[in-house]
Amino acid sequence: MKIMRPLGAVGIAASAFLLAACGSDPAASNSSASSPAAPAASGTAQIDCGGKSPLSGEGSTAQKNAIDVFTLAYGKQCSGQQVNYTASGSGAGVKQFNGNQVDFGGSDSPATGADLEGATKRCASPAWNIPMVVGPVAVAYKLQGVDKLTLTPTVIAKIFNGGIKNWNDPAIKAVKGNEASTFPNKPIQVISRSDESGTTDNFQKYLGAAAKGVWTQGAGKKFNGGVGNGASGSNGVATAVKAADGAITYVEGAFAKDGITPAMIDSGSGGVEMTAQNVAKSLDSAKFLHDGTNDLALDLNGIYASNVPGAYPLLLTTYEIVCSKYSNPDVAKALKAFLNTAATTGQQQLSSKGYVPIPQSLQDKVLTAIKAIS
């Protein structure tokens, strides 16, 4: 897969998704004076600065670090322009967007069904999912004496629905790559998200596709496994695992560090490490739910159920869900400048944040959709 290298960057960049708000705009919609267009760098879109400042957004905690990078790049690209983003979880982001409280929201899964209907009603025009950040989801654990762990989708599903309760369960030992490890007779402490989360939705969709018949709990933004304890936000579950030997969780790859370890996943072709290159390889088979439109919601089920050697299949995409047409042109102008910056200049700054680059072909579609916002 051809990897995007914005502005000639050769490192790996990150990508994430946002849910953007549309339609009638929040009351606090201070507009700055229109600024001259910033010059377009090689390989980027023309940035027409100006419009509302600050823009407001809320939602996904998974993309918070990426949004911080995008905001900094946007401020440099368009002097004086700001974005205020509250990381409260994907469910809250959708609600705030549909409730006309923010200019955009952030979600780790695309707005579909009733959520998309609510967004379209808010916008009084079609609402679009625009992927901006892609990142791996880690099955991250803390277990003294076990520095390397490989899990299959079936074993992961059984851990998170209570079918496997102890670390010395024979099913864990039997996974290829775990033969040399000594697993203690210790209960597995499952930590899940207590808040509504797109990460939870993606994780459960992964289990439903990759461990069909074993994970029968369904998907959705609420954890359905029925075991363990919950913690709020990505940082919350990571912190909970760090504090408890024998704990395990699902969390964005950027948070699987400093005391917790991501497991390798064996989908049938051997254990695959969670690296940007391995995640990028799995994106080769990505398809769109609404092909041929500017709603760029990805259909990840094919990736989740795949068995491509060397491909890490457990990932999420965070989206900007935006209005195709805003009632306030100042919001549209500022949002287009922000998203253009995020999709180009901002990408090269994300390699250190644990995200994965979007392919050039996806970047082209993203820029086309942004251009069409009015």
| Reported pTM | 0.75
CATH topology of domain 6-136+286-302+316-372: D-Maltodextrin-Binding Protein; domain 2 (3.40.190)
Residue 254 confidence (pLDDT): 84
351 annotated as a binding-site residue: no
359 by DSSP, 3-state: which? strand
Residue 8 confidence (pLDDT): 31
Q: How far apart are the first and last CA of the chain?
A: 32
Residue 134 confidence (pLDDT): 87
Query: Count of CB atoms within 10 A of residue 123's CB?
Result: 24
Counting as low any pLDDT under 50, the low residues of the chain are 1-43
Residue 34 confidence (pLDDT): 39
15 annotated as a binding-site residue: no
197 annotated as a binding-site residue: yes
Residue 39 confidence (pLDDT): 38
- Spatial separation of the C-alpha atoms in residues 105 and 102, rounded to whole Å: 7
61 annotated as a binding-site residue: yes
32 annotated as a binding-site residue: no
According to DSSP, residue 255 is labeled G
With both helix axes pointing from N to C terminus, report the angle between 198-210 and 153-160 in degrees, rounded to the nearest 10: 130
CATH number belonging to domain 137-278:
3.40.190.10
Domains 6-136+286-302+316-372 and 137-278 share a fold: yes
352 annotated as a binding-site residue: no
60 annotated as a binding-site residue: yes
Residue 270 confidence (pLDDT): 95
308: its two tokens: 């491509």
135: its two tokens: 């990142």
User: DSSP letters of 147-198?
Assistant: ---EE-HHHHHHHHTTS--BTT-HHHHTSTT-TT----S-B-EEEEESS--H
Do residues 220 and 122 lie in contact, with contact meaning Cβ atoms separated by under 8 Å? no
Give 243's contacts (C-beta < 8 A, 6+ positions apart).
none
Residue 44 confidence (pLDDT): 54
Residue 363 confidence (pLDDT): 87
- What is the domain partition of the chain in residue ranges? 6-136+286-302+316-372, 137-278
